[in-house]
Amino acid sequence: MASTSYAATEEMTNINRVSRLLMDPCTDQLRDLLRFYIPPANFNSVIQMVKSQLPHLTKLQWKLILPNSGVYSGNYDDMDISLLYILLRNVCGIQAHNKGWGNTPDSADRSIAANIERLRLARIRCGHSTGGMSNAEFKQVWSEIRAAVVDLDKALRIGNKYQEVVDFIRNDTMDPTRDRHFRDQLLKQITETENIKKDVHSLKRKTERNDEQVNEVIQKMKNLESSQQRMNERNIPLNIQDCLSRAEPSRYPVKVLRTNVVLKRC
């Protein structure tokens, strides 16, 4: 009798179904959204103007959009959801939602940016649900994704194109082997994103430490200059200090070259 320890559970079926939703129609919808703002024919000229403003990308992402030789010649079908989010956020001029890019939007905010954010957050949530997804959580996540897809369909003026696909996948039979592929691809993307975040954090800490060291050197120099000034003042005889304090700098500029020079009169 075959062991049931590796049989697909309802929780794993739920997480695989959401993974399939995010990796297929949701990613395709974001590709259409990028085409809506930047036609592929204009992509290279746009990316050249803003490449210095892009956040850290993986080597594969950089190589894709800025190849060492030639230019990007695709139509966005080769871009994953992670890269699409970065480009939509940083290149397309889409106004940030009310909580700002990278944050959870208000439930009442149905802006384009808010719905893009919801798809990103759903992907992260899906990636962290390693043990599967309960029916209650699945219904909530699916409802949020579907609502975002409906809103983005309206923004793209394409009728119910992706909403219909979402509804189809909701009731479609699941192939464990096929859907495990979607799950693995999603986890791979999340891992790459997390690695970039770690690299950026490490670089930021190194920069902060360097800044602290520079500030320490500057402060030491200031302290040394202040100490030297106090020493010079102590070495100037009182009668000279009195003369210097009563002199008008604009009419009688005085420059003390050596502290052991004694002026006989003012």
Residue 57's pLDDT is 86
Predicted TM-score (pTM) of this structure = 0.67
Q: How far is CA 157 from CA 36, 77, 168, 199, in A?
A: 10, 20, 20, 39
Residue 36's pLDDT is 97
Domain layout of the chain by residue ranges: 10-202
Would the pLDDT of 143 be above 90? Answer: yes
Least confident of 21-30, 65-74, 154-163: 65-74
Question: Is there a contact between 101 and 113 (Cβ–Cβ < 8 Å)?
Answer: yes
DSSP 8-state symbol, 25: I
Give tens-digit pLDDT for 207-231: 666 666 677 777 777 777 776 666 5
Residue 131's pLDDT is 77
Distance of CA 164 to the CA centre of its chain: 31
Least confident of 53-62, 95-104, 137-146, 176-185: 176-185
Residue 103's pLDDT is 97
Q: What is the mean pLDDT of the chain?
A: 80
Q: Residue 77 phi/psi, 5° resolution?
A: -65, -15
Question: Is there a contact between 163 and 146 (Cβ–Cβ < 8 Å)?
Answer: yes
Contacting residues for 196 by C-beta, under 8 A, at least 6 apart: 56, 57, 58
**Exposure string for 232-256, b = 16+ CB within 10 A, e = fewer:** eeeebeeebeebbeeeeeeeeeeee
Q: Residue 253 phi/psi, 5° resolution?
A: -65, 135
Residue 262's pLDDT is 44
Would the pLDDT of 185 be above 80? Answer: no
Question: With pLDDT > 70 as the criterion, what percentage of the chain qualifies?
Answer: 66
Q: Using pLDDT thresholds of 50, 70 and 90, give the confidence band for residue 10.
A: confident
Gap between the Cα atoms of 121 and 218, Å rounded: 44
Q: Which amino acid is at 240?
A: I
192 versus 258: the higher-pLDDT residue is 192
